[in-house]
Amino acid sequence: MPIEVKNLNHIYSKGSPFEKTALSDISFKINDGEFVGLIGHTGSGKSTLIQHLNGLLKPDGGSVIVDGLDISDKTVNMREIRSKVGIVFQYPEYQLFEETVYKDIAYGPKNLGLDEKEIDARVRHVAEVVGLDEKYFEKSPFELSGGQKRRVAIAGVLAMNPKMLILDEPAAGLDPVGRDEILNRIKLLHETEGLTVVLVSHSMEDIARLAERIMVMCDGELKMFDTVENIFSRSAELSSMGLNVPQACLVMQGLKKNGIAVDDKIYTVEKACKEILRYLGEVGKC
Amino acid sequence: MIEIQNLTYSYDRADDKVGGLALNGINLTVNDGEFVAVLGRNGSGKSTLAKHINAILLPMGGYVYVDGMDTLDESKTWDIRQSAAMVFQNPDNQIVATIVEEDVAFAAENLGVPPDEIRRRVDYALGAVGMTKFRKEAPHLLSGGQKQRIAIAGVIAMKPKTIVFDEPTAMLDPSGRKEVMKTITELNRKYGITIIMITHNMDEAVCADRVVVVDKGRIIIDDKPRNVFSDVDKMRRIGLDVPQATQIAFELKKAGLDIKCDILDEQECVEEIIKLCR
């Protein structure tokens, strides 16, 4: 499902002395089935932007077209938009509220007015997708560990059967294993079910590993929207915007600066190793 | 100095069917002026350990001594908290006042420090975290990294010997992380404050003099960062990462190259690879 944003503006507290432009003249298109990374410093407008993508916020100028529907159009049913675009906010485990894990996941589909059988099928399916064992279904969500709670929260959004999933720092506060488990599940979902994903993260390593294209926000503007390798090759610009690049990039760029003819548009450990071995083989050192 | 002897602790909630000990026989001594990073998986017990150092939690077995004061001695609780202060993950939860310098003064005021001494301490603390020029600003208008530095300044105004940080950069963007890590490192190197820092970020743990790894309520590694991270296989078994630069060296060595693995940052990694090219 494509999303198109044209000349989007958003101003907080418009008309008051505290007026602040949060987004200015943003235009982009996310294609069906893409995995997009969204990066930017705190206050750059990332959260404001994603809240426009399912109509939680309305544009003060420009338009947001979700699957052909303009969210500013008064005749458009917002419920339809929100069931197409699911947002998992930061620390989503704080949004759990039901008595049991099962009820919490079922809450969204139940409000869509689906019948019991369909709800049950969805709950079981999404639990499997996020790697949550059925033995947790009758437990209180508040008894679970942080990583498990987060799975329940993500499952609750997936149970709405969205065509696009937006995640705001889904791995914040998780240890490396917990982080990889959650992110790999999301990747798998993207690959097997063709889900369009927008991942907001401060971890350039995670973005590098998962995204196909990256959007870079700075001071309310969309500064770059390009492939991962093109974005991370602009490390000086990124660092001037308060961002960085994965350490693997820095190693490759450092080698290049020292006159070693390696490809410096590389952003993962795996590719870096391959490229270094290729180079050493070429110059007859291994 | 912090001395922890055979410390055990259990949350022992009635509804906690898993139960067990959150801390199971911890022994740890942190000397004055040291910078110790504490690593471990979620639920390993590292935050529980940190909360024992300033008497938020009290030992069920064993002892914790902060500058010779036993945390079980209730008459010493306030002295302990002044000596070993704590900074948490989310700066928004730690800021109480509407003006930066008032916020920094808050804890010291509560200790009953006289006003002219507070003035001196606040100026000193804001200088130490590099936030002097923001002293008249409203904290909620600052960036995440700046807010965290204000929270740190508030703690410094209490003149603690030790600061315990519980994932101080988890909620910050890359530049905020850099600012806060620079501040923490400076507090240790320049101001001689003992630092105990919990983190999931391996690049940050590299800044410490010593890395302690907690797993299932026990300390399983206590060594220099270089020795800890060079054992990539072991770190992965525990469920922890190593910096990408270390990973690259490790993978190259596995591929049969003669490269050392005790590499901590990109600079060292580049230098080692250049050696291979000659």
In this prediction, what percent of chain B has a pLDDT beyond 90? Answer: 78
Which tens digits make up the pLDDT trace of B220-272?
Answer: 999 999 999 999 999 999 999 999 999 999 999 999 999 988 899 999 999 99
Cβ separation A175–B40 shorter than 8 A: yes
pLDDT by residue (tens digit) across B79-113?
999 999 999 888 888 888 999 999 999 989 988 89
| Portion of chain A with pLDDT greater than 90, in percent | 79
Strands (E), B14-117: 23-30, 35-39, 61-66, 69-70, 84-87
Q: Are residues A177 and A283 in the same domain?
A: no
CA dihedral A10, A13, A17, A20 (to 10 degrees): -30
What pLDDT score was predicted for residue A18? Answer: 79
Residue of B nearest to A43 (CA): B143
Q: Are residues A32 and A51 in contact, defined by beta-carbon separation less than 8 angstroms?
A: no
Interface probe for B, chosen from A38, A39, A41, A42 (most Cβ of B below 10 Å), is A42
Residue B53 has pLDDT above 70, yes or no: yes
Per domain, the residue ranges of chain B are: 2-93+163-239, 243-278
Q: What is the CATH number of the domain that holds A227?
A: 3.40.50.300
Confidence check on the interface: ipTM exceeds 0.90, yes or no? no
Say yes or no for a CB contact (<8 Å) between B143 and A243: no
* Residue pointed to by tokens 């300044």: B153
The span from the CA of B79 to the CA of B158, in Å, is 11
Is residue A134 located within the same domain as residue A271?
no
Same domain for A224 and A262 = no
Q: Are residues A136 and A80 in the same domain?
A: yes
pLDDT of the residue at B141: 83
For domain B2-93+163-239, the question of CATH label 3.40.50.300 is answered with: yes
Q: Is the pLDDT of residue A6 over 70?
A: yes
pLDDT digits (tens, 9 = 90+) for B107-135: 899 888 999 999 999 999 999 999 999 99
Per-residue pLDDT, averaged over B30-43, amounts to: 95
pLDDT band at A91 (very low <50, low <70, confident <90, very high): confident
Least confident of A17-21, A47-51, A183-187: A17-21
pLDDT tens-place string over residues B140-184 = 888 888 999 999 999 999 999 999 999 999 888 898 889 899 999
pTM, whole model, 2 decimals?
0.86
Q: What is the pLDDT of residue A213?
A: 98
Facing A242 at nearest CB: one of B16, B174, B255: B174
User: In terms of domains, do A129 and A259 share one?
Assistant: no
Same domain? A207 vs A90? yes
What is the rounded average pLDDT of the residues B202-223? Answer: 95
Domains identified in chain A, total number = 2
Using the structure block, give the residue that is written with the tokens 């500013």: A72
Note whether A143 contacts B: Cβ–Cβ < 8 A: yes
Domain stops at, among A238, A263, A278: A238
What is the extent of the structural domain holding A204? 3-238
Across chain B, mean pLDDT equals 92
Best residue in B44, B269, B278 to probe A by mutation, most A CBs within 10 Å?
A: B269
**CB-based contacts of A176: which residues, under 8 Å, 6+ apart?**
B41, B200, B239, B240, B241
| Cα separation values, B161 from A210, B54, B155, Å | 43, 12, 11
**pLDDT, mean over chain A:** 93
Say yes or no: A124 and A227 in one domain. Answer: yes
CB–CB contact A175 B42 (8 Å): yes
- The reported pLDDT for the residue numbered A20 is 86
A174 touches chain B (CB under 8 A): yes
Question: Mean of the pLDDT values across residues A84-110?
Answer: 92
Whether A106 and A84 map to the same domain: the answer is yes
Q: How many residues does chain B have?
A: 278
- Which residues of A are less than 8 Å from B257 in CB distance? 277, 280, 286
A104 and A232 share a domain?
Answer: yes
Q: pLDDT confidence of B19, banded at 50, 70, 90?
A: low
Nearest to A172 among B170, B256, B273 (CB): B170
